[in-house]
Structure 1
Amino acid sequence: MPGMSNTNDRLWMLNTTDAIATVNTSNYISDGKSRGMMQGDTVIVKVRASLPLGDVSAQYLAWVKDVGTGTDGLGVDITDGTVIDATDTD
């Protein structure tokens, strides 16, 4: 995703039925490096009731902390994630 300050950071979307505590475990994304994920890339995690497009129960904003995890060195580790609030006051 092009940026305003010479950045080449990427934005990734991840749909899952797993809790964020599972998703932010090292090497949960076991092919992240081979897909081109780099340290500092942004990841939006959508926790869904079912895949591919079940109801969304939570969303989190995280970023790639480590690249090259797992025994094959192709995974990544993302940060714990900050919840994106679902407040709807109407």
Structure 2
Amino acid sequence: MIRAIGTRIALDEEHHLAFQIDQLRLGCAALPALVRALLFAAWWCVAVGAATVVAIDHGPALRVCGLGVGSYWGAALRSFRRAAVATLA
């Protein structure tokens, strides 16, 4: 039951994330390459911190959903990287 709810929420969020990526891409398109690289580095720091906090703080809930803390952490950062590259490319 919990896994089904999580899957439904995640699928719904995919549409929101796609919209936000498109909007950020438009806003960042005119930025110089150096500024986009610095922005990626700053976003990466925030993403690592957020993924770490969620993995530590919500470890028991992640395990109930069938996710290991390490696998969640890696998946979250891979997902972030794909979104950031799509935004800043």
TM-score (norm. length: structure 2): 0.27
Of Structure 1 and Structure 2, the greater strand share is in 1
Higher relative contact order (CA 8 A, sep 6+): 2
Query: Larger Rg: 1 or 2?
Result: 2
Of Structure 1 and Structure 2, the greater helix share is in 2
